[in-house]
């Protein structure tokens, strides 16, 4: 960005300003200069915009902090045919996302400084959304030897996780929580007891009828319960990723009531879909953890509504056609989610489970707070990361229009409401409808 660009002033007028972090919800205007927000409010520019300021007319639409997605598989380095940092950034921008946290399961694994620095450098080169890398919790994601939490944190790792692999060994997890506490680092777990998780879909009547091996809900419940006991033992900060079961939500609810340093997230498919979506062996609905029963789906929805679940993440997991168009048991787990995170999250608002402010909080300031990121809010001096959107605009989801390299989504033809009109990162418009 040139010196001139750093001084550019832009006025967003006729906006409906909305910011969950502060409770802001009013008509008004917002002013950016370079990469920062310098002023905003209902009375800003009431006498007109001074000369020399670029004007962007929001036409009454909502202007909010850009979304923060804390669970994304980038696929670069190693699987660039499925996704790259650039294409993921373009997809995120189209979805109103301005910051993403990248999982460490690339090739090579992000278990050393060079890997973390590579992702940061490629993000700068792509000049799209902000990318914050996770560090691997154990070397090579093998669940045995811990990585250098302190050193990786110093070079930009925002938390530590073995991505889609659970840390199965209780002693290893205990050590990780204790070690992380030294640096006030966060441990993020894929909560699934491996010896109970050898299947390909939710265990139950439907899996039996389809002749597919099932994954019991207890695989998640047992792991979350074990980890909560280890948090009690160590006092370490713990985050359970992509919860899918009623039992796990209850355990987290009770842990929070006891004051433990525990947070969790879920993904849209766990409150929008259930196990019926894999009928007819639909591999595009094969995810890990699997889509669960209708009772579990309702429990996830309720966990979001009552505040037990802290955030919604896309769990963006792009795969090429050759990895998905296979017999169900052989197909890869995962779906793309960057471009559907926002409209699917808005279902909580449209179904009147949450106010628009509370719904937005799940994809802006709350995920940012979990990882300690300096984003996700409208404030003077804050980064000018913004999304302009119409929450009520209806359409049907069409994965063929996605900017992601991969199109593996189970939401083809799914009715949605909420269109992103403009996405701004550090004052630069990176997407405009």
Catalytic residue among 19, 79, 227, 315: 315
Average pLDDT over residues 358-363: 98
Instruction: Examine the pLDDT at 346 and tell me if it is beyond 60.
Output: yes
Residues sharing a CB contact under 8 Å with residue 29, sequence separation 6 or more, in sequence order? 11, 12, 13, 14, 15, 17, 40, 41, 44, 45
What is residue 5's predicted lDDT score, i.e. its pLDDT? 54
Burial class (CB in 10 A: 0-12, 13-18, 19+), 128: buried
| Coil, helix or strand at residue 409 | coil
Active site residue 280: no
Q: Write out pLDDT tens, residues 261-319.
A: 999 999 999 999 999 999 999 999 999 999 999 999 999 999 999 999 999 999 999 99
Q: How far apart are CA 317 and CA 289, in angstroms?
A: 12
CATH architecture assignment, domain 65-371: Alpha-Beta Barrel (3.20)
| Coil, helix or strand at residue 381 | coil
Average pLDDT over residues 197-207: 95
Average pLDDT over residues 63-75: 97
Q: Write out pLDDT tens, residues 138-190.
A: 999 999 999 999 999 999 999 999 999 999 999 999 999 999 999 999 999 99
How many residues are present in the chain? 433
Residues sharing a CB contact under 8 Å with residue 200, sequence separation 6 or more, in sequence order? 212, 213, 215, 286, 290, 328, 329
Longest CA pairwise span in the chain (Å): 69
Instruction: Examine the pLDDT at 376 and tell me if it is beyond 60.
Output: yes
Q: What is the pTM of this model?
A: 0.95
């Amino acid at each position: 960005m040139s010196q001139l660009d750093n001084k550019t002033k832009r006025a967003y007028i006729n906006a409906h300003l909305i910011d969950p972090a502060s409770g802001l919800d009013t008509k008004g205007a917002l002013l950016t200069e370079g990469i920062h927000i310098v002023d905003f409010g209902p009375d800003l520019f009431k006498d007109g915009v001074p000369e020399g300021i670029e004007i962007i007319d929001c036409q009454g639409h909502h202007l909010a902090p850009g979304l923060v997605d804390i669970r994304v598989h980038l696929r670069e380095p190693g699987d660039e045919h499925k996704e790259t940092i650039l294409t993921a950034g373009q997809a995120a921008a189209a979805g109103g996302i301005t910051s993403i946290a990248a999982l460490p399961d690339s090739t090579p694994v992000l278990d050393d400084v060079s890997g973390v620095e590579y992702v940061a450098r490629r993000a700068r080169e792509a000049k799209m959304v902000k990318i914050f890398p996770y560090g691997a919790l154990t070397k090579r994601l093998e669940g045995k030897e811990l990585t250098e939490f302190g050193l990786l944190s110093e070079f930009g790792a925002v938390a530590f996780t073995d991505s889609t692999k659970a840390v199965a060994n209780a002693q290893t997890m205990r050590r990780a929580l204790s070690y992380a506490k030294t640096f006030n680092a966060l441990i993020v777990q894929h909560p699934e007891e491996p010896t109970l998780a050898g299947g390909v879909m939710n265990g139950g009547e439907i899996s039996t009828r389809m002749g597919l091996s099932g994954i019991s809900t207890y695989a998640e419940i047992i792991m979350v319960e074990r980890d909560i006991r280890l948090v009690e033992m160590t006092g370490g900060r713990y985050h359970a990723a992509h919860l899918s079961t009623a039992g796990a939500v209850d355990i987290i609810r009770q842990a929070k009531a006891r004051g433990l340093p525990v947070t969790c997230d879920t993904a849209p498919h766990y409150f929008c879909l259930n196990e019926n979506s894999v009928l007819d062996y639909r591999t595009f609905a094969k995810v890990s953890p699997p889509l669960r029963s209708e009772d579990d789906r309702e429990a996830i929805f309720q966990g979001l509504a009552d505040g037990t679940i802290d955030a919604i993440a896309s769990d963006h997991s792009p795969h090429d056609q050759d990895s998905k168009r296979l017999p169900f048991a052989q197909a890869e787990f995962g779906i793309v989610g960057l471009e559907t995170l926002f409209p699917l999250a808005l279902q909580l608002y449209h179904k009147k489970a949450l106010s628009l402010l509370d719904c937005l909080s799940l994809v802006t300031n709350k995920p940012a707070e979990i990882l300690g990121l300096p984003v996700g809010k409208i404030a003077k001096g804050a980064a000018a990361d913004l999304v302009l959107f119409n929450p009520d605009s209806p359409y049907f989801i069409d994965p063929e229009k996605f900017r992601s390299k991969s199109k593996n989504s189970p939401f083809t033809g799914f009715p949605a409401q909420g269109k992103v009109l403009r996405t701004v990162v550090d004052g630069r418009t990176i997407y405009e409808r």
